[in-house]
Amino acid sequence: MGERRGVLLGSDGPGRPYAMVSFPTEGPAAEPAFRTRTGDLALPRRPGARPRNIVVILTDDHRFDAMGFMAAQDFVETPTLDRIAREGAHFRNAFVTTALCSPSRATIFTGLYAHQHRVVDNYHPIAPGLVFFPEYLQAAGYETAFIGKWHMGLEGDDPQPGFDHWVSFRGQGDYWPNGDGLNVDGERVPQDGYLTDQLNRFALDWLESRTREKPFLLFLAHKAVHAEFYPAPRHEGRYADRTFRYPETMAPGAPDRPMWVENQRNSWHGVDFAYHDGVDIGDYYKRYMETFLSVDEGVADILAHLEERGELDDTLVLYMGDNGFMFGEHGLIDKRTAYEESMRIPMIARCPALFDGGAVVDEVVANLDVAPWLLGVAGLEPPGWMEGRDLAPLLRGERAEWRDSLLYEYYWERNFPHTPTVHAVREDRYKYIHFHGVWDIDELYDLQEDPLESRNLIFSPGHEGIVERMNRKLFAMLEATGGLQIPLPVDEGERYMLRNAATPDMAAFPSVLLKLLAR
């Protein structure tokens, strides 16, 4: 029996006892409770459906509004992404169910929530038994390739199930060679330059090597634009003299802001002590967008190649981010929280053979929906165990029944102790955010009246019924999906626990929780 790595503290339902449960990393007892792999990867085919080519381009930490056509900052340039949105579809309300690299990637590949696939942080192994949607495509006759950042649970870069061709690197990788090199189909190959450019070349080389005998899936997962931000030399300094608009919610002391959020300002993920240094958020954002330019150029090269081969309009090209990124909103940087800038992502797609250009999808969609949607694009019926839904009806403009709310979850990490366990329900109008394991207040926002999430309505008169309703909905969604459990993984990785001693003040305890004793 292998080493036991994941530990769960959980209940089977209201009034039922809690228990400690662990799963081994190998052996017959290693399968997760929700068993996904049965040995037969053949899915039913949709009658008359023609399998389409699929290109997925995934970037890291790319926030939803960091695209030129969104005009969030005057200097942002993403001409290729703008083209995809113009000629294809923009999912205006696209989200992740966990704003963290490994859990989000596992959700993209499985169509499951983090509490189901159990990849809940960036340090621990994938639970045995998971099946990734490319395995179904491969079984259906697709030629498949993965190129780029895997980074799901472990630091390794070994080839994973479902891919005929494999190029990856250890952990987060580095923009410039670090001596580890790349894993190309199980063999170590030197990294010979700027990583984004090299991954783009690998993608083009694979596309050019194809014989067209089979439909294909290319999954290109960039390290960019993960911090630290290192632009390609040709792009460095491009935005140095441009003006950055700082977020309105960056100032301290917002009324009814949770105490933990205010305290996080002075931390690794806060504007007052960002990365334990004096990082200027505006300069940081400029380097972020300079770093992205090489991604946009690479997407342009892929589109040009497909166009030259006469395959572009028959290929679904999906671009998306794995989570958002805050640049000062609420006094924070990074992701993990349930604020819009953290959990909302860019998501655009183009395929004239399947849907018209210029479409804007307003419904709330998620990384949860990618796997079932792409299986449908391949002409396959998604398996019933996936929690996500096929996006095709929305793209065709059909009045399909759709979710009225999205569940969000993030589990406290000892490595970054300043963010507690977060659960949230995001509806079209309201968002309810619930914290576990911290003595503080929860949050409620009216996104229609307050899209910046600047006025917490959790104790606002007249909103009591909304809070109660959304709290009940949150726990009903968790119970229905097997989520009434808190993962407790074994300690792994570095810890980022420091505060700046020059600004020692802690946030005041929420006044609503204070009681004055009568004398």
Q: What pairs with residue 444 in β-bridges?
A: 432
pLDDT-derived band at 38 (thresholds 50, 70, 90) equals low
* SS3 state at 179: coil
Q: Is 482 exposed, middle or buried (0-12, 13-18, 19+ CB in 10 A)?
A: middle
Q: Average pLDDT for residues 215-236, to the nearest whole number?
A: 97
Give the pLDDT confidence score for residue 36 in this predicted structure: 52
Whole-number Å distance between alpha carbons of 77 and 82 = 9
Are 412 and 430 spatial neighbours (Cβ–Cβ below 8 Å)? Answer: no
**Does the pLDDT value for residue 470 go beyond 70?**
yes
Whole-number Å distance between alpha carbons of 339 and 133 = 29
DSSP state of 437: S
Averaged pLDDT score across all residues of the chain: 91
Q: Average pLDDT for residues 176-201, to the nearest whole number?
A: 96
The first and second tokens of residue 515, run together, are: 């009681």
User: Where are the strands (E) in 115-266, listed by range?
Assistant: 143-148, 165-168, 182-184, 187-189, 216-221
Q: φ, ψ for residue 20 (rounded to 5)?
A: -95, 125
Domains of the chain plus CATH, in order, are 53-401+494-517 (3.40.720.10)
Cis peptide bond prior to 96, omega within 30° of 0: no
Nearest of 516, 514, 407, 419 to residue 470 by alpha carbon: 407
**Does the pLDDT value for residue 426 go beyond 60?**
yes
Nearest of 38, 1, 37 to residue 129 by alpha carbon: 37
Of the CA atoms within 13 Å of residue 476, those in its CB half-sphere come to: 9
Are 336 and 104 spatial neighbours (Cβ–Cβ below 8 Å)? Answer: no
**Does the pLDDT value for residue 3 go beyond 80?**
no
Whole-number Å distance between alpha carbons of 316 and 217 = 10
Nearest of 180, 170, 174 to residue 194 by alpha carbon: 174
**Pick from 3-7, 43-47, 75-79, 96-100: least confident:** 3-7
Cis peptide bond prior to 228, omega within 30° of 0: yes
Q: Average pLDDT for residues 144-165, to the nearest whole number?
A: 90
Whole-number Å distance between alpha carbons of 319 and 300 = 12
**Does the pLDDT value for residue 34 go beyond 80?**
no
Give the pLDDT confidence score for residue 155 in this predicted structure: 67
Are 435 and 450 spatial neighbours (Cβ–Cβ below 8 Å)? Answer: no
Q: Average pLDDT for residues 182-193, to the nearest whole number?
A: 96
Q: Which residues contact 94 (CB under 8 A, 6 or more apart)?
A: 64, 320, 344, 345, 346, 347, 365, 366, 367
For the stretch 283-316, what's the b/e string if a residue is b when 16 or more beta carbons lie within 10 angstroms of its beta carbon?
ebbbbbbbbbbbbbbbbeebbeebeeeebbeebb
Give the pLDDT confidence score for residue 124 in this predicted structure: 80
Q: Which residues contact 42 (CB under 8 A, 6 or more apart)?
A: 139, 140
Rounded to two decimals, the pTM is 0.92
Q: φ, ψ for residue 217 (rounded to 5)?
A: -120, 120
Q: What torsion, rounded to 10 degrees, do the Cα atoms 227, 229, 230, 236 define?
A: 180
pLDDT tens readout for residues 369-410: 999 999 999 999 999 999 999 999 999 999 889 999 999 999
Q: φ, ψ for residue 94 (rounded to 5)?
A: -100, 140
pLDDT tens readout for residues 60-76: 999 999 999 999 999 99
Give the pLDDT confidence score for residue 42 in this predicted structure: 94
pLDDT-derived band at 39 (thresholds 50, 70, 90) equals low
Are 364 and 403 spatial neighbours (Cβ–Cβ below 8 Å)? Answer: yes
pLDDT tens readout for residues 81-120: 999 999 999 999 999 999 999 999 999 999 999 999 999 9
**Does the pLDDT value for residue 8 go beyond 80?**
no
Beta strands at 365-366 and 359-361: parallel, antiparallel or unpaired: unpaired
The first and second tokens of residue 45, run together, are: 């085919």
The first and second tokens of residue 307, run together, are: 């166009």
Are 105 and 321 spatial neighbours (Cβ–Cβ below 8 Å)? Answer: no
Give the pLDDT confidence score for residue 346 in this predicted structure: 98
Q: Average pLDDT for residues 192-197, to the nearest whole number?
A: 97
DSSP string, 493-510: S-------TTS-PPPPPP
pLDDT-derived band at 129 (thresholds 50, 70, 90) equals confident
Q: What pairs with residue 366 in β-bridges?
A: 95
Give the pLDDT confidence score for residue 154 in this predicted structure: 64
Beta strands at 143-148 and 216-221: parallel, antiparallel or unpaired: parallel
pLDDT-derived band at 20 (thresholds 50, 70, 90) equals very low
The 10 Å Cβ neighbour count of residue 63 is 25
pLDDT-derived band at 37 (thresholds 50, 70, 90) equals low
Nearest of 302, 106, 61 to residue 201 by alpha carbon: 302
Using the Cα atoms of residue 299, residue 303, residue 306 and residue 312 in order, give the sign of their dihedral: positive
**Pick from 134-148, 239-253, 360-374, 490-504: least confident:** 490-504
